[in-house]
Structure 1
Amino acid sequence: MTTAQFDCQYCTASLLGKKYVLKDDNAYCVSCYDRIFSNYCEECKEPIESYCKDLCYKGLHWHERCFNCAKCNHSLVEKPFAAKNERLLCSECYSNECSSKCFHCKKTIMPGSRKMEFKGHSWHETCFVCEYCRQPIGTKPLISKDSGNYCVPCFEKEFAHYCSFCKKVITSGGITFRNQPWHKECFLCSGCRKELCEEEFMSRDDYPFCLDCYNHHYAKKCAACSKPITGLRGAKFICFQDRQWHSECFNCRKCSVSLVGEGFLTQNQEIFCRKCGSGVDTDI
């Protein structure tokens, strides 16, 4: 390069005896180079001069002194880091902010360590233990009770009831009949064997029956309408001698007035109010 040529490409000032920067085979004085080509620091927003180290990540630039964790402000130069919501975080801050917390010890579950998840919560593997024997549950079957988790053997030993029908452990749900526990799927009609857990039912001699079976085999029939009298949901009925009536069916045979709580007369299996019965020969 001749003396005439050894000038700044931008301001044409002589570069002889001065510091300069080469870019694309062109020489620039330091002042022009910094003004034209310097990147701006994401942290301090100042240009990164040619004498400074320019640290670049995903197209963004920082001074070396500005390349720090957004939370603890420790330098990230030559250290592992991660980005979240356009912030740079050191490994420890990223773990504390982004990693799951153990439901038992409340400490961070560090990336790379084994995490157990159950019912929307996370545990360290060593914290996810049976409440009774304190042994890690891992991926073995478990049963929850009163906010605690139990391995199956411990649950059966401490809490389980045994079904009155199949004699096996009831691990969840179940119903009680005559102070005895049953699996829902084992609580069946003693007549037709259909499940009763979601059905209304009656009992006879300590055995449960669906309404159809009970009405067919055991229910008394109303002397007026001939339909079964079950007494379900507090329904009232009237008994007289060897006959029964639904409360709403216990009416005068002639005028249909209700005879519930009233005096009445009978004739040939029919019942009458006193007024209507006074003109006929009656039994009482």
Structure 2
Amino acid sequence: MTTQFACHHCTSSLLGKKYILQNDSPYCVSCYDRIFANYCEACKEPIESDSKDLCYQGRHWHEACFRCSKCYHSLVENPFAAKDERLLCTECYSNECSSKCFHCKRTIMPGSRKMEFKGNYWHETCFVCEYCRQPIGTKPLISRETGNCCVPCFEKEFAQYCNSCKKMITSGGITFHDQLWHKECFLCSGCKKELCEEEFMSRDDYPFCLDCYNRLYAKRCAACAQPITGLRGAKFICFQDRQWHSECFNCGKCSASLVGEGFLTQNTEIFCRKCGSGVDSDI
């Protein structure tokens, strides 16, 4: 006695008919397509057993429906990329999504290596030193207005060195008496305080902070005894071996300013002509 060979679902005889095994059970083509067929993402129709089922990230397409969503060229056996669940050929993806090279302005194709620097992108072969034209890659570089420069070329072409530590100055720096310093190396010759954002004075070609200069070298006003620095265009008066701030150069009796006026002296006192009349003058 022969056991009937039938469809696992509809029990129709499969003798002499085409069938498909699923989990070791036979199904007629009609039942298989109705139960197991995937639906195409493009046309929404079932992908029947006599059609090729193309799968990508859990989604399915008929072979004829597997196309670029922008130009509609077939993606079968061609490279493609996904963007917001759309499939795009590499050309459409590049035109729509890829970065443009800052140097050659051409698209940086998907899958190719790109370099990023200061918010811009380059092809790896375009990101080169402006002098030796060698690719910089991930090596240290110096950025200039005209382009990027590898460290060896920068040292050869432009390097300036700190007058204090003798190391290269790559950016910024302070110039004093035609010599360069790193900001952190430009120090007061007295107390060694950084002077890069401080007012300072010079003595014998050495920089000093105001405190050190006033303590060591500044002349004192004959009236207020405070140092006379001459900073910010401040004026002062010299007479014989004495100095005054311009605002301190006043008559010792009536306190009138003597700047630009005639005056008389007696011992260490100075007087206007009116207050000094009748006083024996030292001059």
TM-score interval, smaller chain: 0.7 to 0.9
Q: CA-to-partner distance for each residue in 1:96-136, whole Å, 9 max, x for gaps?
A: 32122221122222233222221111222222111111111
The amino acid across from 1:264 in the alignment is F
**Residue 29 of structure 1 corresponds to which residue in structure 2?**
none
The amino acid across from 1:167 in the alignment is K
The amino acid across from 1:217 in the alignment is L
**Residue 71 of structure 1 corresponds to which residue in structure 2?**
70
Higher mean C-alpha displacement, 98-107 vs 204-213: 98-107
**Residue 153 of structure 2 corresponds to which residue in structure 1?**
154
Q: CA-to-partner distance for each residue in 1:185-222, whole Å, 9 max, x for gaps?
A: 22111111111111111001111111111111111111
Residues 210-249 of structure 1 aligned to structure 2 (within 5 Å): 210-249=209-248
Secondary structure in structure 2 of the residue aligned to 1:122: strand
Aligned-pair identity in percent equals: 85
Secondary structure in structure 2 of the residue aligned to 1:95: helix
Residues 91-170 of structure 1 aligned to structure 2 (within 5 Å): 91-170=90-169
* Aligned mates of 1:158, 1:208 — CA distance in 2: 30
* Aligned mates of 1:165, 1:57 — CA distance in 2: 64
The amino acid across from 1:283 in the alignment is D
Point out where structure 2 has 5 or more consecutive residues left out of the alignment.
Answer: 1-38
Secondary structure in structure 2 of the residue aligned to 1:245: strand
* Aligned mates of 1:138, 1:166 — CA distance in 2: 30
The answer (yes or no) to whether the contact 2:108–2:123 under 8 Å persists in 1 is: yes
Query: What is the TM-score normalised by the length of structure 1?
Result: 0.75
**Residue 173 of structure 1 corresponds to which residue in structure 2?**
172
Higher mean C-alpha displacement, 88-97 vs 132-141: 88-97
Task: Report the count of equivalent residues.
Answer: 269
The answer (yes or no) to whether the contact 2:70–2:88 under 8 Å persists in 1 is: yes
* Aligned mates of 1:111, 1:169 — CA distance in 2: 40
Query: What is the TM-score normalised by the length of structure 2?
Result: 0.75
The offset of 1:56, in angstroms, is: 9.1
The offset of 1:168, in angstroms, is: 2.0
* Aligned mates of 2:111, 2:44 — CA distance in 1: 36
* Aligned mates of 1:187, 1:60 — CA distance in 2: 66
* Aligned mates of 2:59, 2:127 — CA distance in 1: 43
The answer (yes or no) to whether the contact 2:90–2:109 under 8 Å persists in 1 is: no
Secondary structure in structure 1 of the residue aligned to 2:68: coil
What's the Cα RMSD here? Answer: 3.9
* Aligned mates of 2:226, 2:94 — CA distance in 1: 72
Secondary structure in structure 1 of the residue aligned to 2:208: strand
Residues 72 and 232 from structure 1, CA distance in 2 versus in 1: closer, same or farther, beyond 3 angstroms?
Answer: same
**Residue 263 of structure 2 corresponds to which residue in structure 1?**
264
The offset of 1:244, in angstroms, is: 0.7
The answer (yes or no) to whether the contact 2:173–2:183 under 8 Å persists in 1 is: yes
Residues 44 and 273 from structure 1, CA distance in 2 versus in 1: closer, same or farther, beyond 3 angstroms?
Answer: farther
The answer (yes or no) to whether the contact 2:124–2:137 under 8 Å persists in 1 is: yes
* Aligned mates of 1:63, 1:78 — CA distance in 2: 14
* Aligned mates of 2:231, 2:184 — CA distance in 1: 23
**Residue 186 of structure 1 corresponds to which residue in structure 2?**
185
Residues 116 and 56 from structure 1, CA distance in 2 versus in 1: closer, same or farther, beyond 3 angstroms?
Answer: closer
The amino acid across from 2:218 in the alignment is A
Secondary structure in structure 2 of the residue aligned to 1:157: helix
Secondary structure in structure 2 of the residue aligned to 1:156: helix
Secondary structure in structure 2 of the residue aligned to 1:216: helix
* Aligned mates of 1:139, 1:61 — CA distance in 2: 41
Residues 243 and 42 from structure 1, CA distance in 2 versus in 1: closer, same or farther, beyond 3 angstroms?
Answer: same
* Aligned mates of 1:111, 1:66 — CA distance in 2: 23
The answer (yes or no) to whether the contact 2:90–2:110 under 8 Å persists in 1 is: no
